[in-house]
Every structure is written in structure tokens, then in C-alpha cells.
């Protein structure tokens, strides 16, 4: 129950990093017993604001009042003591220590953490296990349990559902609701609109380092929030192109990529499907169903344990990404950090694959390169203002550069692994539109998305991966969220009556 | 894959390793290093059956500064840093000791030794302060402070000289209980026991490993990263000071250029002893034992009547082979770095 | 939907903004800034002892800076890819020694012998770092010790065949032409040109930067990283060998610790020049100026007639200050 007591009020927060202004005048007001969403496009300043609230950075201007007292945190330790604790996307756990040691580090009692872990579904965790040996979703839960155990007044949760299966996310929401009932508050950051409407009471929207609005998150507020995040014109312009036409798959033409009985590691057991030129094939799956291994094998990043990969009728043996690229298969990974050259310019990032072969180690044809790179940049509408180093660009622009890299080289099949994860809505829509364009121009596109509503918007067909196998295949018209979700859990879709 | 092998829950934490196996999995050098030392000693005795307590003494005395240099380096490496000025700090403390103790009594020399330990800690503190506050990478900082401390050592004693009271020298050159247990050995053991073990068991030890393993995660867990790194360098300075004092005990004089060798060799011994260059892993015992192994090599060569100049070749080759071998094993296991 | 109005600028932010712009300018033209610093040092020397800075003095500076500059070239190449090479001094010494002991075979042959050391050690370093994924610091540490040790043993066996520095090497290391241009500059200049152009305008150069910036990204883009790194360390070894030949020409005596004094300065020159020790950023132009600055610094200290200990302390302190200023700038 949201009272009117204000637990935290940040106003006119400003922060600049050298010459880049991250926040101009952001404000945020959180009431007791409230789940408050913090929303904004990438580059709007959300994570900077959060880091200031939790003491990782110090603000250049503005102030923060917690429970009536003015505070200014110089370190996460100070913020913790004041009851402001955050749970970030990557768990703040030290890999070479055991879980118990990590708890001691944060001065948190192991028993309390255990209780929370039971609530979160891992009652038998061995606290003597080394963090390095535990799987990623477990680490996120430990991080959350540890934060809860320190009994914070305000809990900040940043994109926690990004890599968790749906049932786990539900548990976490349950815990957040219980927390709210105790009169505590949660600041919730997520790009998933559905979660925000379901879980949060109000939302503060940032754009370009300013707070542009605060609204209730009742049903129907989604479009309003999108408008605030993007600015009115952009939000409505970008909506075009989201209605999908059901294309029929190519008939007797040989598939651009065919996978037969592919096996890899523990998680990928037996996957077979065909991908045709000119279509976008979507893959839906919960966490850990083998989709990462699948993409890694097709892209040549990992060696397969069994099965076949056939490109244009010829079986392939990939031992290095260069082999896959040579066969026309290129990968856009989910995690930009994997593929970016942070200190190099946009141009060098885009041109990188051109020099992979020994025969390209010699002198570069600078004007031809400039032409190629410019074309790709224009096509993707990349904002090139902060051109000196890629790390200065916003997340959405960085991802666009990763895609531009392949536009500037040649490819036949584009493998997109969750390309819009953690990206703002405006950029997402641009990327969808581009994917459709590329398919229309003859490319074959394999797209894995962790956000089910995306799939019918972008794809022609969809397959669902469960337990390392393909359990269902459908045309885009039938790939609604409910069907996909059920199939992802291994449930046979209701419509699948006759053969 | 059996037919019943369904989906792997993403929460599966894998099989529980028993306590001992887990320990060995995470501290391999505590098994390999003693084994390597035992093998080296066995080989030595096999080559030279007349190996007597005098040889054991020479080994202990010769290895002692290297062992302490390795220990100093290990502490800093564990915290995620590196200290390329260890040798120079040893040199400064060495000449400081020799210069001040030359005409001192035994009692005074002990007090001076304590004071020099503090001096060493101060040198380390300067390193730490600069690393933490200038944000210059530690390689660069300690490279240059190494220069500076080297100059300081030359200021104190331009040429090898100085001395110390006889009883003081006996502490290092003498023996405890039996001639097989050299004073130098005791000194190293005492330094490890008094300086390192209490730290390792305390919260500071936890912080050192945490910061070395993942600075950002430690910071977000509420650790004062800067203070921890600073203290690591202070400990490094302290251990280097003990090394410098020990050097006086075993050589009887102070030598301003003595330190040069110990920086890089101490680093090599630390790496051989299982300390990770990236931090967060390893201990002190491994590097100390590795120092003895490295010192045995020239001794063995003398026994074998091989030109002792080969010693450096073998030491260097040993390092190269060990790290390349480690890399090869990692490659074959398909481990990502 | 209008955005909230921009708040009035905070007090003092105008000053902050122009300071920010100045820093930005400095950041993008660091080599120019370093040149200014160099000129300041030279000016300082002229002020302390007027009349020092003459064309002869300048050409001497270049003469002494060349070996360091060539060593720094190799060091720049490996530091850009995120590594370091601590074996360059041993390689330089060994190369000089090998060349000197084979001087009887004629100019070309003895130089080839010298270069072969660089090639061999570079290959070993390359295999260790590129193929076996050993950390460069440790790997080159080991090969450096190994090379030095091997050299000592070799020199003992070679007592019969005493090393002799051929005259053309002597002129390379210490001679001048045309009334003042050092001959080693005639060697350094083309090397510098090749390295500068190579880093900016060739695929391999781009790859050095890319591998240093994010090795995994290179893999995903189809680059075979091991090939790049292997080439990197071989090139560094060769350049170290060349530097050795120049050094020995300057001193005319091939002894065991010939190049030791150049090891740490080679790293320092690259750091001062703006290349990040973690890789991915920097270049050779800065290293050239860095080498010149260090040489001028040395000269300055000699001029001040400072005793050896003070010189060492000042040397270290000044490098530290430069590195710290540099880090502040690029953060």
C-alpha cells in the first residue's frame, strides 16, 4: 500500500563525464511502500542516476533527501548504510571467493540470506561453493538475496529479469510485492513494458538526462510512457512496419542454412531446421534451452559434438568464426561487449572483418573503406556525434554499429542472438525494420529473441526450442505470445490437433 | 544422452565437490609446489650424496632474499596489483641496515631492524599511495618508483660496505637446534607466520583476495578498494624490508645494486608458485617454496660440474617451460582464459 | 510534447566547459602536446646553460635517441595489442654479440646472424603468447632471462673467437654525414615511417589495435588472433635486434649488459607517448617523442652535473609525473 510518505526525493541531479553530459536535471520521488519504475531510452541517463543514488558516482549538482535527511553518498558502502541497496545486471559477487565469503564481505548474515534463497527457489545452495563455479542465474538470485538480507529501505533492481526464466521472474515479482507490503520501496528498471505495468505503481521517465514525466502505470499507460521516452513524433512514426504480413516459406528452393541433428554440450541435444533465403526465422526459448550453443555452433564459435550444418547444400565443418564467415554466416551477439572495440572509432569497428584474412594485412584503400562504412552508417541511421570511441555511444547506437559491421562486409545469412536486448524502443523498431529490409533483399535471417512479442512482429516463421530440441514450428501469424510461451515450457500447443 | 535426460534447470549448481577435492581444485599449487621441492631435493641428494647440513645452510641463506621477494610480490599480486620495485626496496633496506648497524651493539641492531621494517612499510606505502591516487597503472608506477628507490639506495651507500654486529649476523648465518635448520630458514618461516598468516585469516585477507579477484564486484559489495590495495603494497614493502635485513645477515654487508635481480626473479617465483597475475588466486607458501627450487638449480649445476652460468639459462627456461606447459594444458582442456 | 526547460547553468559551469574543451583538444592532439613539452625541456636546458643547444647538440640527441626509438617501436607494437616485451634488452645485447662474433663473415652475413636472434626469440615469445596464451609479462620475462643466460654461456665458449665490431656498424652507431645528420637516423627514419604508416594504413596495423582493444570481438569477426600476435612479437624481436646493432655501434664494445639500461626506458617512452599499457590505444608518433624526451631528460640531468643517485631519482620522478599527467588527461 503506497502511503504518501516520501522515502527518497532526488532533484535536479546533474552529472557530466568530461565533456559528455549524462544527466542535466533528473529528479525522482519514491514513496514508502511503492514499486516505482525508472524508464528511459538507452542514453537517457537511467543507469547514471541509479549509480549516483547508490554511491558509485557522485553528482555534480542537485541533491538527494532520504527520509527527510539530506544525503550525499561517496561510496556504495555509505549508501548501504543509509539503506539504499542495488541489484545490478551483473552480480556483485567476487568469483574466486565462496558464497559464504562473499556474504561476509558485505557483512550480511548467512542465515538471513538462506531464508531468502528458499523463497527464491534454491533452498539447498552450498554456501561453500566458489562463485566462479555457479551458473549465472543462481548468481543473480544470490545477489538479490544478499541485497534483501541487508534489510534495505530502498531496493534498486536493474533489469533483473533479463536472463531469467519466466517462472523465476514470477517468484521475484512475488517477493517484490511482499517487500512493498512491508512499507519498503523498490525502484525497478526494466525495458519490458508488460512487467512494468504489472508490477509497478508509478513510473518516472527520463529523456536526454531530464525527467520528462511521472505517471501511474495502470493499464493503457504504455503508449503514454513510450511517448514520454521517445518524444511524441518519434513514438508514432516508429509504429509503422510493426504489422507483419504472413509470408509463405520458399517452396522447392534449397535452404540457405540447414541444421540436422545438431548436438553440443549438455544443453543442445538434437536440433533440426531449415532456413531459406528471404525469410526471417525466429527462435523462442526460455533460458538455457540450448539456444546459445546453437548459435555458437552455427557461427563457428564452438565446435559441435554431433549432427550436421549444411550451407547451400554443402555440409560444413566450422572450427573458427572465420570459417563460418567464409560460408556467409555472420553473428550479431546479444552482449555488445563481446563484439565491440570500445576504444576504436565507429569506422574501425565497422571495417574490422575486412582485415581478417592474411591477404588483407597490407595497405588499406582508404577511400573505398570510407565509402563502404558511410553507406552502412547511413542505412542504420547511426548517430555519429560521439565519433571518437565506440564506448561513448549509447547502447542502441553501439548495437547498430555491430550490425553495420556486417552490412559493410558481405554475408548471406545473418544470425541475430537477442539483438535488441536492453535496447530502447526507438532503436528496437529501427532494427526490426532493417531486419525486414534485409530479408526482402534476399538475406536469410535467424533471430533469437528473449522477448516473445517481438517474434511475430519481425519473423516469417518461428520455432520453439525446449530441452535442446525443436518442439514446435509455426508461421508468424500463429506465433502469438501465449502459444510461444506454452511451447517454450514444453506444453503442446492447443491448436495442434490434426497433423 | 539418455532418453530421460530432460531440460537442465538453469539453477543446477552441479555436483558438490568434497571439501578436500574442492580445496585442491582451487589451490593446486599447494600440492604441486611442495612436490616439486621434494623432487628437487631428492634429485640434489641423488646427484650429490654427500649433501650435508652445510649445503642445506647455503641453500637456505641463498634462497632467503628471493623467498621474501617472492612473498612480497605474491601479496601484491593477490590484491590484483604488481610491484616492480621489490628489488629496489630490498636494496634500500639492505644498505640502510648495513650503514646503520656497522658500529651498533646487538641490542641496537635489533631495534634498528625493527625501524627498518617500518621504513620498508613506508616505502610500500608510497607505492600504494601513488598507485591508488594517481590512477596510473601499477606496472608503470612501480617501474618508476623502482628507479627512484634504486637511486635512494645509491645515496645511502655508494659502494658495497657497512656491516653489522656478529651476533646479528649469526641470526641468519647460524642455526636453530640442529645445523640442518638454518637461521635463514627460520627467518623466512617467521616472516610468513608473523606477517602473512594473521593477515590471511583476518578480514584484510578476505579483502585482498576479493579486490584481486574482481575489483568492481568488491566495490559494489561495500569494500574500500583503495584502502585494501594500499595495504597490499604496504605489506609488500614490509616483506621486502625483511628481505633486505636478511641479506645483511647472510652477506655481512650492504650492496646498493643487490636488488636488481630480485624484482624479476621474485615475480617469476611467485608465478611459478601458483599466484595468478590477474589476482585473487594463490598464496604465499607456493612462491616461497618456488624460490627454494629456483635456488637449488645453480647449486645442482655446481654439483654436476656444469658451468654455473647455465643457471640463468635453466631458470629462464624453467619459467618459460612451466608457463608454456600451463598454457598448453589450459588449451587442451579447452579452457577460456 | 515539450521537454522540461533547460535549467539555468550552474555557477562556474562556463569555466568548467571551456576547461573541458581544452582538455578535449589536448586529448586529441597528445603528440602535439608532447612536442610542446619537449621544446620546454630543451628551452630549460638552454636557460640553465646558455649556448648548449646547438645543431651539434641536437644531432647528438637524435643520435642517442635512435636506439631507444627503435626499441620503442617494437615495444609500441606489442603494447598496442595489450602485451609487453621484457626480453628486448637481452635480445638487443645478444644480437649485437652474435653479430660481433661473426664479423669475419662479412657485413651482410654478420648482420643476418644478429637479426636471427631477434627472429628466434620473437618466434618463441609469439608461440607462447599467441598459441599457448601465456601472459606476455611472464613469457618475455622468462625468454629474456633465458636469452641472457644463453648469451653468457655462449660468450664463455667464444673466448677464442673474440667479438669485433665491424667498422660499418661503428659508423651506424656513432657516425654522421652531411655535416651533422647521424647515420643511425638514416636507419631510424625509414623504420619510423614504415611503422607509422603500417599502424595507420594497413590491415595488420588495424588488427594490432583491435586485438589489444577486444580480442574476443576480433575472433567473432573472423580474425585469427594467434596469427596477429605471433607476427607482433616477431616484429618486436626483429626491431630489438636492429636496435642492438645500433647500440653496439655507439659503444664499440659488445659486453653482456650492453642494452640492459634500455629496457625500462623503452617501456617508459611508449607510456609517455600515450600508448595505453592495456592496449587498444596510442601509436608510434608519441613513442618517438617519448624517446626524444627521455634522451633530452638524460642530457639535462648530465648537464646539472647531478651525481648518479640523484639522476636516477629525478629520472624516475619525472617519468612518473609525466605518466600521471597523461593518465589524468585521458581518463
B143–C contact, CB cutoff 8 A: yes
Mean pLDDT of chain B: 85
Alpha-carbon span C177 to C186, nearest angstrom: 10
Q: Which residue of C has its CA nearest to A318?
A: C222
Per-residue confidence of chain A (499 residues) as pLDDT tens digits? 456 788 899 999 999 876 667 888 999 999 999 999 998 765 678 888 988 998 888 888 889 999 888 988 988 888 988 999 988 877 889 999 999 999 999 888 889 999 898 888 888 888 888 998 888 878 888 999 999 998 899 999 987 776 677 778 888 898 899 888 888 999 998 767 778 888 899 999 888 888 888 888 876 677 777 777 766 555 454 333 334 443 444 455 788 999 999 999 878 889 999 999 999 999 998 767 788 889 999 999 999 999 999 998 889 999 999 999 999 999 999 888 889 999 999 999 999 999 998 999 999 999 999 999 988 888 888 877 545 688 878 778 888 999 999 998 889 999 999 888 777 777 888 888 899 999 998 899 999 987 777 888 889 999 998 878 888 888 888 887 777 877 776 766 554 433 4
Give strand pairing partners of B207.
none
Q: Which residue of A has its CA nearest to B276?
A: A96
- Judge whether residue B26 has pLDDT over 70: no
The residue of C8, C16, C206, C220 whose CB has the most chain A CBs within 10 angstroms, and thus the best one to mutate to test that interface, is C220
For residue B76, list chain C residues with Cβ-Cβ distance below 8 A. none
The helix or strand, by DSSP H or E, that contains position A86, with its residue range, turns out to be strand A84-87
Alpha-carbon span B102 to B299, nearest angstrom: 31
For residue A18, list chain C residues with Cβ-Cβ distance below 8 A. 20, 23-24, 331
In A174-233, the residues whose Cβ lies within 8 Å of chain C are 207-208, 210-212, 227-228, 231-232
Mean pLDDT, residues B164-178 taken together: 82
For residue C212, list chain B residues with Cβ-Cβ distance below 8 A. none
Residue B235, sorted as left (phi over 0), alpha (psi -120 to 50) or beta, turns out to be: alpha
Q: Which residue of A has its CA nearest to C17?
A: A19
Identity of the residue in A92, A288, A466 whose CB atom sits nearest the CB atom of B217: A92
B15–A contact, CB cutoff 8 A: no
Place of cell 564459435: A301
In C116-145, the residues whose Cβ lies within 8 Å of chain B are 124, 127-128, 131-135, 137-139, 141-145
Q: How far is B152 from chain C (nearest CA, A)?
A: 6
For residue B144, list chain C residues with Cβ-Cβ distance below 8 A. 268, 316-317, 319-320, 323
A310 grid coordinates: 549444411
Is A333 in contact with C6 (Cβ distance < 8 A)?
no
Q: For residues A147 and A83, is the Cβ–Cβ distance under 8 A?
A: no
The residue of A16, A19, A235 whose CB has the most chain C CBs within 10 angstroms, and thus the best one to mutate to test that interface, is A19
Distances in Å between the Cα of A442 and the Cα atoms of A276, A279, A411, A412, B32 are: 9, 8, 11, 8, 58
Is A77 in contact with B223 (Cβ distance < 8 A)?
yes
Identity of the residue in B140, B146, B268 whose CB atom sits nearest the CB atom of C323: B140
Is C149 in contact with B314 (Cβ distance < 8 A)?
yes
C213–A contact, CB cutoff 8 A: yes
Q: For residues A426 and A396, is the Cβ–Cβ distance under 8 A?
A: yes
C308–B contact, CB cutoff 8 A: yes
Identity of the residue in C10, C21, C222 whose CB atom sits nearest the CB atom of A321: C222
Distances in Å between the Cα of A105 and the Cα atoms of A334, B26, B107, B219 are: 31, 19, 43, 10
Is B151 in contact with C316 (Cβ distance < 8 A)?
yes
In A314-353, the residues whose Cβ lies within 8 Å of chain C are 320-322, 324-326, 331, 333, 337-344, 348, 351-353
In C233-272, the residues whose Cβ lies within 8 Å of chain B are 264, 267-268, 271
Q: For residues C187 and C172, is the Cβ–Cβ distance under 8 A?
A: yes
C8–A contact, CB cutoff 8 A: no
Is C210 in contact with A352 (Cβ distance < 8 A)?
yes
Identity of the residue in A125, A136, A266 whose CB atom sits nearest the CB atom of B8: A266
Q: For residues A203 and A46, is the Cβ–Cβ distance under 8 A?
A: no
C229–A contact, CB cutoff 8 A: no
The answer to which of A17-21, B234-238, C226-230 has the lowest mean pLDDT is A17-21
For residue A128, list chain B residues with Cβ-Cβ distance below 8 A. 19, 22
- Judge whether residue C119 has pLDDT over 70: yes
C152–B contact, CB cutoff 8 A: yes
Classified as helix, coil or strand, B176 is strand
For residue B82, list chain C residues with Cβ-Cβ distance below 8 A. 137
Q: What is the pLDDT of residue B55?
A: 81
Identity of the residue in A76, A101, A126 whose CB atom sits nearest the CB atom of B16: A126
C325–B contact, CB cutoff 8 A: no
Mean pLDDT, residues C147-173 taken together: 78
Q: Which residue of C has its CA nearest to A350?
A: C221
Identity of the residue in C132, C149, C327 whose CB atom sits nearest the CB atom of B309: C149
Identity of the residue in B11, B207, B280 whose CB atom sits nearest the CB atom of A121: B11
Phi, psi of C316 (to 5 degrees): -60, -45
Within 10 A of B62 (CB to CB), how many other CB atoms are there? 18
For C242-280, how does the pLDDT look when each residue is reduced to its tens digit (9 = 90+)? 999 888 887 777 677 777 788 888 998 998 888 988 899
C230–B contact, CB cutoff 8 A: no
Using CB atoms, list chains with 3+ pairs below 8 Å to chain B: A, C
pTM of the model: 0.81
Q: How far is A88 from chain B (nearest CA, A)?
A: 9
Give strand pairing partners of A258.
A274, A310
Residue B259: which of B96, B121, B130, B81 has the closest Cα? B96
Mean pLDDT, residues C295-314 taken together: 86
Q: How far is A352 from chain C (nearest CA, A)?
A: 7
Within 10 A of B28 (CB to CB), how many other CB atoms are there? 14
Classified as helix, coil or strand, C182 is strand
Alpha-carbon span B284 to B265, nearest angstrom: 15
In B78-97, the residues whose Cβ lies within 8 Å of chain C are 82
The residue of C203, C229, C283 whose CB has the most chain A CBs within 10 angstroms, and thus the best one to mutate to test that interface, is C203
Angle, alpha carbons B183-B186-B191 (nearest 5°): 125
C249–A contact, CB cutoff 8 A: no
B9–A contact, CB cutoff 8 A: yes
Angle, alpha carbons C120-C126-C130 (nearest 5°): 160
Is B220 in contact with A92 (Cβ distance < 8 A)?
yes
Q: What is the pLDDT of residue B15?
A: 59
For residue A334, list chain C residues with Cβ-Cβ distance below 8 A. none
Is A105 in contact with B209 (Cβ distance < 8 A)?
no
Is C213 in contact with A343 (Cβ distance < 8 A)?
yes
Alpha-carbon span C236 to C270, nearest angstrom: 13
Give strand pairing partners of A71.
A64
Residue C233: which of C140, C111, C96 has the closest Cα? C140
What DSSP letter does each residue of A5-34 carry, written as one string? -EEEEEEEEEEEETTEEEEEEEEEEEETT-
Q: What is the pLDDT of residue A165?
A: 72
Give B305's pLDDT tier (boundaries 50, 70, 90): confident
Alpha-carbon span B274 to C297, nearest angstrom: 40
Alpha-carbon span B231 to B195, nearest angstrom: 12
Alpha-carbon span A422 to A90, nearest angstrom: 13
User: Quick one: chain B helix, strand, coil %, rounded to 5?
Assistant: 70, 5, 25
The ipTM assigned to this model is: 0.85
Task: Tell me A393's DSSP state.
Answer: S
C297 grid coordinates: 631528460
Q: By percentage, how much of chain B surpasses pLDDT 90?
A: 42
Angle, alpha carbons B123-B124-B125 (nearest 5°): 90
| C298-324 as b/e: b if 16+ CB within 10 A | bbbbeeeebeebebbbbbbebbbebbb
Using CB atoms, list chains with 3+ pairs below 8 Å to chain A: B, C
Q: Which residue of C has its CA nearest to A320?
A: C222
Strand ranges inside A135-209, DSSP E? 154-158, 185-189, 202-207
Amino acid at each position: 500500500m503506497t502511503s504518501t510518505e516520501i522515502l527518497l526525493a532526488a532533484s535536479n541531479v546533474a552529472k557530466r563525464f568530461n565533456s559528455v553530459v549524462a544527466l542535466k536535471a533528473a529528479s525522482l520521488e519514491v514513496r514508502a511502500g511503492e514499486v516505482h519504475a525508472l524508464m528511459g531510452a538507452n542514453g537517457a541517463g537511467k543507469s547514471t542516476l541509479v549509480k549516483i543514488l547508490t554511491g558509485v558516482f557522485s553528482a555534480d549538482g542537485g541533491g538527494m533527501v532520504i527520509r527527510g535527511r539530506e544525503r550525499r553518498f561517496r561510496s556504495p558502502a555509505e549508501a548501504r548504510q543509509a539503506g539504499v541497496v542495488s541489484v545490478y545486471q551483473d552480480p556483485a559477487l567476487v568469483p574466486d571467493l565462496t558464497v559464504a565469503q562473499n556474504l561476509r564481505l558485505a557483512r550480511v548474515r548467512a542465515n538471513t540470506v538462506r531464508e531468502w534463497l528458499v523463497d527464491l527457489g534454491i533452498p539447498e545452495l552450498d554456501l561453500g561453493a566458489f562463485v566462479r563455479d555457479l551458473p549465472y542465474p543462481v548468481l543473480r538470485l544470490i545477489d538479490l538475496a544478499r541485497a534483501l538480507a541487508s534489510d534495505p529501505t530502498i531496493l534498486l533492481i536493474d533489469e533483473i529479469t533479463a536472463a531469467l526464466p519466466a517462472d523465476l521472474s514470477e517468484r521475484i515479482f512475488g517477493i517484490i510485492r511482499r517487500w512493498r507490503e512491508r512499507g519498503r520501496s523498490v525502484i525497478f528498471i526494466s525495458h519490458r513494458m508488460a512487467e512494468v505495468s504489472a508490477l509497478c505503481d508509478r513510473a518516472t521517465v527520463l529523456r536526454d538526462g531530464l525527467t520528462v514525466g511521472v505517471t501511474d502505470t495502470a493499464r493503457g499507460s504504455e503508449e503514454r510512457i513510450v511517448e514520454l521516452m521517445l518524444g511524441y513524433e518519434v513514438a508514432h512514426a516508429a509504429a509503422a512496419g510493426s504489422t507483419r504480413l504472413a509470408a509463405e516459406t520458399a517452396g522447392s528452393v534449397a535452404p540457405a542454412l540447414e541444421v540436422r541433428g545438431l548436438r553440443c554440450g549438455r544443453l543442445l541435444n538434437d536440433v533440426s531446421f531449415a532456413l531459406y533465403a528471404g525469410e526471417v526465422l525466429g527462435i523462442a526459448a526460455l533460458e538455457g534451452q540450448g539456444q546459445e550453443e546453437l548459435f555458437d555452433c552455427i557461427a563457428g564459435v564452438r565446435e559441435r559434438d554431433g549432427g550436421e550444418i549444411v550451407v547451400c547444400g554443402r555440409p560444413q565443418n566450422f572450427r573458427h568464426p572465420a570459417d563460418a564467415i567464409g560460408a556467409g554466416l555472420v553473428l550479431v551477439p546479444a552482449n555488445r561487449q563481446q563484439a565491440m572495440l570500445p576504444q576504436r572509432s565507429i569506422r574501425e569497428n565497422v571495417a574490422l572483418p575486412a582485415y581478417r584474412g592474411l591477404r588483407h594485412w597490407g595497405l588499406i584503400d582508404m577511400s573505398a573503406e570510407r565509402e563502404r562504412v558511410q553507406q552502412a552508417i547511413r542505412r542504420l541511421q547511426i548517430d555519429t556525434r560521439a565519433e571518437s570511441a565506440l564506448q561513448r555511444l549509447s547502447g542502441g547506437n553501439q548495437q547498430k554499429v555491430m550490425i553495420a559491421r556486417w552490412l559493410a562486409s558481405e554475408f548471406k545469412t545473418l544470425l541475430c542472438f537477442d539483438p535488441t536486448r536492453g535496447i530502447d524502443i526507438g532503436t528496437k523498431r529501427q532494427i526490426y525494420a532493417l531486419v525486414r529490409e534485409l530479408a526482402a533483399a534476399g538475406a536469410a535471417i535467424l533471430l533469437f529473441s528473449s522477448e516473445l512479442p517481438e517474434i511475430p512482429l519481425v519473423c516469417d516463421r518461428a520455432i520453439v526450442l525446449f530441452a535442446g530440441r525443436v518442439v514446435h514450428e509455426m508461421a508468424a501469424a500463429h506465433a502469438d505470445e501465449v502459444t510461444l510461451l506454452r511451447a517454450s515450457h514444453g506444453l503442446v500447443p492447443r491448436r495442434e490437433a490434426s497433423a | 544422452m539418455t532418453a530421460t535426460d530432460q531440460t537442465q534447470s538453469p539453477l543446477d549448481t552441479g555436483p558438490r565437490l568434497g571439501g578436500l577435492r574442492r580445496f585442491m581444485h582451487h589451490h593446486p599449487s599447494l600440492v604441486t609446489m611442495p612436490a616439486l621441492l621434494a623432487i628437487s631435493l631428492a634429485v640434489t641428494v641423488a646427484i650429490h650424496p654427500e649433501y650435508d647440513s652445510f649445503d642445506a645452510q647455503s641453500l637456505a641463506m641463498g634462497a632467503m632474499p628471493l623467498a621474501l621477494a617472492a612473498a612480497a610480490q605474491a601479496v601484491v599480486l593477490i590484491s590484483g596489483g604488481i610491484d616492480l620495485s621489490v628489488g629496489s626496496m630490498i636494496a634500500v633496506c639492505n644498505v640502510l641496515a648495513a650503514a646503520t648497524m656497522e658500529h651498533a651493539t646487538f641490542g641496537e641492531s635489533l631495534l634498528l631492524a625493527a625501524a627498518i621494517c617500518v621504513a620498508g612499510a613506508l616505502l610500500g606505502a608510497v607505492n600504494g599511495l601513488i598507485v591508488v591516487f594517481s590512477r596510473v597503472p601499477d606496472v608503470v608506477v612501480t617501474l618508476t618508483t623502482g628507479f627512484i628507490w634504486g637511486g635512494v639506495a645509491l645515496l645511502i651507500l655508494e659502494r658495497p660496505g657497512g656491516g653489522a654486529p656478529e651476533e646479528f649476523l649469526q641470526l641468519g648465518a647460524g642455526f636453530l637446534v640442529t645445523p640442518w635448520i638454518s637461521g635463514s630458514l627460520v627467518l623466512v618461516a617467521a616472516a610468513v607466520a608473523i606477517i602473512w598468516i594473521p593477515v590471511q585469516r583476518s578480514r584484510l585477507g578476505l579483502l585482498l583476495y576479493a579486490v584481486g579477484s574482481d575489483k568492481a564486484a568488491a566495490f559494489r559489495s561495500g569494500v574500500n578498494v583503495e584502502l585494501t590495495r594500499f595495504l597490499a603494497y604496504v605489506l609488500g614493502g614490509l616483506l621486502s624490508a625483511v628481505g633486505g635485513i636478511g641479506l645483511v645477515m647472510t652477506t655481512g654487508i650492504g650492496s646498493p645494486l643487490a636488488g636488481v635481480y630480485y624484482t624479476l626473479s621474485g615475480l617469476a617465483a611467485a608465478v611459478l608458485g601458483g599466484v595468478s597475475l590477474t589476482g585473487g588466486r594463490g598464496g604465499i607458501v607456493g612462491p616461497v617454496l618456488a624460490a627454494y627450487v629456483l635456488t637449488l638449480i645453480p647449486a645442482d649445476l655446481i654439483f654436476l660440474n656444469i658451468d654455473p652460468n647455465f643457471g640463468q639459462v635453466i631458470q629462464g627456461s624453467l619459467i618459460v617451460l612451466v608457463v608454456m606447459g600451463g598454457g598448453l594444458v589450459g588449451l587442451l582442456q579447452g579452457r577460456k582464459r | 510534447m515539450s521537454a522540461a526547460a533547460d535549467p539555468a547553468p550552474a555557477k562556474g559551469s562556463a569555466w568548467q566547459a571551456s576547461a573541458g574543451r581544452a582538455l578535449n583538444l589536448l586529448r586529441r592532439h597528445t603528440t602535439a602536446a608532447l612536442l610542446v613539452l619537449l621544446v620546454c625541456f630543451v628551452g630549460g636546458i638552454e636557460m640553465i646553460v646558455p649556448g648548449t643547444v646547438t645543431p651539434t647538440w641536437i644531432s647528438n640527441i637524435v643520435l642517442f635517441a635512435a636506439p631507444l626509438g627503435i626499441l620503442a617501436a617494437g615495444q609500441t607494437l606489442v603494447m598496442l595489442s595489450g602485451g609487453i616485451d621484457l626480453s628486448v634488452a637481452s635480445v638487443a645485447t645478444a644480437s649485437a654479440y652474435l653479430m660481433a662474433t661473426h664479423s669475419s663473415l662479412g657485413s651482410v652475413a654478420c648482420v643476418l646472424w644478429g637479426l636471427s636472434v631477434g627472429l628466434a626469440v620473437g618466434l618463441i615469445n609469439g608461440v607462447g603468447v599467441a598459441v599457448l596464451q601465456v601472459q606476455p609479462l611472464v613469457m618475455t620475462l622468462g625468454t629474456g632471462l633465458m636469452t641472457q643466460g644463453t648469451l653468457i654461456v655462449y660468450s664463455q665458449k667464444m673466448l677464442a673467437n673474440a667479438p669485433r665490431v665491424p667498422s660499418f656498424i661503428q659508423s651506424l652507431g656513432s657516425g654522421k654525414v652531411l655535416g651533422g645528420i647521424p647515420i643511425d637516423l638514416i636507419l631510424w627514419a625509414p623504420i619510423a615511417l614504415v611503422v607509422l604508416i603500417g599502424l595507420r594504413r594497413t590491415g595488420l596495423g588495424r588488427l594490432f589495435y583491435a586485438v589489444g582493444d577486444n580480442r574476443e570481438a576480433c575472433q567473432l569477426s573472423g580474425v585469427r588472433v594467434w596469427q596477429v600476435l605471433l607476427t607482433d612479437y616477431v616484429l618486436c624481436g626483429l626491431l630489438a635486434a636492429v636496435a642492438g646493432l645500433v647500440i653496439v655501434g655507439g659503444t664499440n664494445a659488445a659486453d653482456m649488459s650492453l642494452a640492459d639500461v634500455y629496457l625500462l626506458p623503452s617501456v617508459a617512452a611508449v607510456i609517455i607517448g600515450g600508448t595505453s599499457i592495456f592496449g587498444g590505444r596510442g601509436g608510434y608518433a608519441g613513442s618517438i617523442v617519448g624517446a626524444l624526451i627521455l634522451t633530452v631528460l638524460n642530457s639535462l640531468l648530465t648537464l646539472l652535473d647531478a651525481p648518479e643517485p640523484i639522476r636516477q631519482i629525478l629520472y624516475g620522478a619525472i617519468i612518473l609525473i609525466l605518466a600521471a599527467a597523461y593518465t589524468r588527461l585521458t581518463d
